[in-house]
Structure 1
Amino acid sequence: WLESAGPSALELEVLGWFKEWVGYPESAAGLLMSGGSAANLTGMVTARTERLGASWDDGVLYVSRQTHSSVERAARILGFRSDRIRTIAVDDGFRMRPAGLRRAIVEDRARGLRPFLVVANGGATSTGAVDPLAELAEVCEGEGAWLHVDAAYGGFAILADRGRAALAGLGRADSITLDPHKWLFQPFEAGCLLVRRGRELVDAFHIMPDYLQDTEVERGALPDDAEVNFADRGPQLTRSFRALKIWLTVRFWGLDRIRESVARGIALAERAEDRIRRSPTLELLSPAALGIVCFHGPDGEAADAERIRRLSESGVGMISSTRVGGRYALRLCILNHRSRWEDVETVISHLERPV
């Protein structure tokens, strides 16, 4: 704060918007980061500190097959062996099963382990699937586990009515990862971590060495109502000024236009799903969810990979691939505020061509 009060104050204002949008109280705290990977790691550090203390060899965390790879990487960094990570089954909509989660937690506790963290999806990267957040919150609250929602992809869909319904229960999470460089349409880098009980974030990271004693600030009644040193909230001491571009976008473009763009992306993906269902050559693999729809062609993985290559080289559009239920999938992700139905139709028509 001593050397960057202006940027810090602007970051606090942006974080205040985010807290309000997801349904967090004023006592929540957070910080802007490079992206979802850094935010997931920071949230998991906070969960480990709060739930396990100084010893965590017996700690267990829970994910699903739709969980982003950054969570496994963060677990490695934090020193958790692979046998301390449980993968919970998903339903036909690729959503974590709460009953399966509860059963796994009970079984692990009976073995003398400490279940401490559940990482849920607020828009899975492959499919856009949103886990049943309210039900998972019930399980976590009953079992004493920390609920972290990785909403890097889908979190800002909460600004639109359809997205808000899909993300019901998000505000009950203990921590949330968000990526403004996705559905707030920001350039890299722009990630965010929010923690519902903000003091727990500060407790996990605050260190005051002698050579920084002049920068020490007094804590206010709430985490954000006094001077703030963001180094007390994450791994970085030197940080870039990420808040300005977000602040300018919201102030200049306005929330109504952002909501319209998010809603249009969701609607375009649903229209694309209907178009794919009617296609004579394409087969749907996952229904539209928060702007993502997955499908494949009739002639195998190699042919679909060639479709992606040809589409990219044509300049018509660009899509990616993933795997859905073990099957190679074409992944159409509509996340650009300038996308129109004509663009989507052109891409689908191009992918229908024989290889």
Structure 2
Amino acid sequence: MSKLQFSREEMKKMGYQVIDMLVDHWDNLPQKRTAITATRQEMRDKISQPFVSEPGNFDDILKMLREDVFGHALNVMHPRFFAYIPGPSNFVSVLADTMAAGYNTFAGTWLAAAGPSQIEWDTIHFLCEQLGLGQEAGGIFVSGGSMANLTALAVARKQVLDDRLHNATVYFSDQTHTATDRALIILGFHRENIRKIPSNDNFVMCTDELRSQIQKDKQNGQRPFCVIANSGTTNTGAIEPLNDIADICEEENMWFHVDGAYGAAAVLSERGKKQLQGIERADSIALDPHKWLFQPFEIGCTIVRNTEHLRDTFQILPEFLQDAHQHDREINFCDHGIQLSRSFRALKLWLSFKVFGLKAFSDAIDMGFDLAEFAAQQVEKNSHLQLVTPAQMALLSFRYYDEGCDEEALNHINNNIVKQVIKEGFAMMSSTVLKGKTVLRLCTINPRSTEDDVCQTLMKVVEYGQGIQKKM
């Protein structure tokens, strides 16, 4: 133990215990609650114990982790977890993460990780091909959509502005994820640099407003440099008019970035590819495999039309890395992004593609489309539910409805339905606000979710809504 090491037999025993715990969790997910809430004080009482000098008992620690730590976290893989954009995961990728951690792979340079670097390169280029980008395209795996967008926008700032931010303006719709605002702030942009374009009745960017704002800014001496479009908004799943926005960017010589954190993965399905027409014209794309490519957290991806733009933006060669940069044809992913020390994120996506095959992924994506359309049909059949936006990219928004209630009362009821859903733990959904209406969202990307899961969840919404309404 003084060398932080165990015997072979001890390691096997501990490892089998962990794997058994994980298999049991996966096998029993449908019978579990989607969430168990707790107060900060309850968590302190259960978990917060001082670190001590003497060794702890692994069995006791594992029991505490299973019951008190993982037992008080959202079960985002649960088949009735429809909130936010779920992370359905898959067990093959769980094993891949276990291997990556077990080998403790440093995936920053080719010298340190030739095999892992090749796997990352191959997997990135497969995604580039699916997205319709050219041979010069490339990218890097990062932690998630926030970092993927930050990385892409850092490249745009360098390539278009040469890092000179004065009077630069960037454009995106009011449906864009707040991760974009955060990325721009980190990159040094201020409120006066940012233009939020109103969305239309379909909750996508109004391109006439975009054109008008760009022209107005140019007349006022501003430097429009980037438009960010959504391929699947978090609120409604809507795809913004990618081709129209790409046309504007070409006319104005602006960078075209697509936030496809959840939606871009649908290109693996023919059905999704048709809906994403225009994404192949992007200069950069953010994509989250831990969403609709069913990977465990964390794995995001930045893809750019020209790989050299990544290296031009991020490569800095200190003396202590000179040995890692002796051959130009080798791939050093530390030169493609922010991190030098990097985990082997690519392994889980690569391994799951290899084990399940691409058809399984395409079919799973199509199942998400089908289930959302089924859910929308069930909503329209129920007099106590109202469809607010149609099924788009495996996501729909709706609300509990009673014609005898005014908008304020309906908002109150729907807000409290979400609270009741979380409290009961039978299912999980989230709310948002669309044009002043509080609405509920169902995101059906989990391939293990069923029509019965959807029906039971909708019945719970009606049950909770009627109960809340009676108490008003």
Match of 1:41 among 150, 164, 174: 150
Q: Does 1:337 align with 2:442?
A: no
The answer for unaligned runs of 5 or more in structure 1 is 220-225
Deviations 1:98-144 (A, max 9, x none): 22212211111111110001110011111111111111101101101
Q: Does 1:279 align with 2:385?
A: no
Looking at structure 2, the residues matched to 107 and 158 of structure 1 have their Cα atoms a distance apart, in angstroms, of 35
Looking at structure 2, the residues matched to 275 and 350 of structure 1 have their Cα atoms a distance apart, in angstroms, of 13
Letter in 2 for 1:205: F
Write the mapping of 1:1-355 to structure 2, written as runs, cut at 5 A. 1-219=110-328, 226-298=329-401, 299-353=409-463, 354=466, 355=468
TM-aligned CA deviation for residue 56 of structure 1: 1.0
TM-aligned CA deviation for residue 69 of structure 1: 0.4
Looking at structure 2, the residues matched to 142 and 48 of structure 1 have their Cα atoms a distance apart, in angstroms, of 19
1:222 aligned residue: none
Looking at structure 2, the residues matched to 8 and 324 of structure 1 have their Cα atoms a distance apart, in angstroms, of 44
Looking at structure 1, the residues matched to 285 and 171 of structure 2 have their Cα atoms a distance apart, in angstroms, of 16
Could you say what secondary structure the match of 1:283 adopts? strand
Looking at structure 2, the residues matched to 105 and 153 of structure 1 have their Cα atoms a distance apart, in angstroms, of 28
Indicate the larger mover: 314-323 or 234-243.
Answer: 314-323
TM-aligned CA deviation for residue 30 of structure 1: 0.3
Pair 217,154 (structure 1): closer, same or farther in 2 beyond 3 Å: farther
2:50 aligned residue: none
Deviations 1:270-293 (A, max 9, x none): 121122122211122211110111
Looking at structure 2, the residues matched to 2 and 266 of structure 1 have their Cα atoms a distance apart, in angstroms, of 43
Looking at structure 2, the residues matched to 325 and 161 of structure 1 have their Cα atoms a distance apart, in angstroms, of 33
TM-aligned CA deviation for residue 160 of structure 1: 1.6
TM-aligned CA deviation for residue 302 of structure 1: 2.9
Pair 232,184 (structure 1): closer, same or farther in 2 beyond 3 Å: same
Deviations 1:25-46 (A, max 9, x none): 1211100000000000010000
| Higher RCO, 1 vs 2 (CA within 8 Å, ≥6 residues apart) | 2
Letter in 1 for 2:350: W
Indicate the larger mover: 297-306 or 133-142.
Answer: 297-306
TM-aligned CA deviation for residue 326 of structure 1: 2.9
Looking at structure 1, the residues matched to 308 and 342 of structure 2 have their Cα atoms a distance apart, in angstroms, of 21
Could you say what secondary structure the match of 1:300 adopts? helix
Looking at structure 2, the residues matched to 135 and 324 of structure 1 have their Cα atoms a distance apart, in angstroms, of 24
Aligned-pair Cα RMSD in Å: 1.2
Could you say what secondary structure the match of 1:182 adopts? helix
Deviations 1:127-168 (A, max 9, x none): 111111111101101101101000001111112222112110
With the length of structure 2 as denominator, give the TM-score of the two structures. Answer: 0.72
TM-aligned CA deviation for residue 217 of structure 1: 4.3
Length, aligned pairs only: 349
1:223 aligned residue: none
Asked if the contact 2:367/2:445 (under 8 Å) is kept, the reply is no
Letter in 2 for 1:26: Q
With the length of structure 1 as denominator, give the TM-score of the two structures. Answer: 0.95
Instruction: State the identity %.
Output: 42
Letter in 2 for 1:248: L
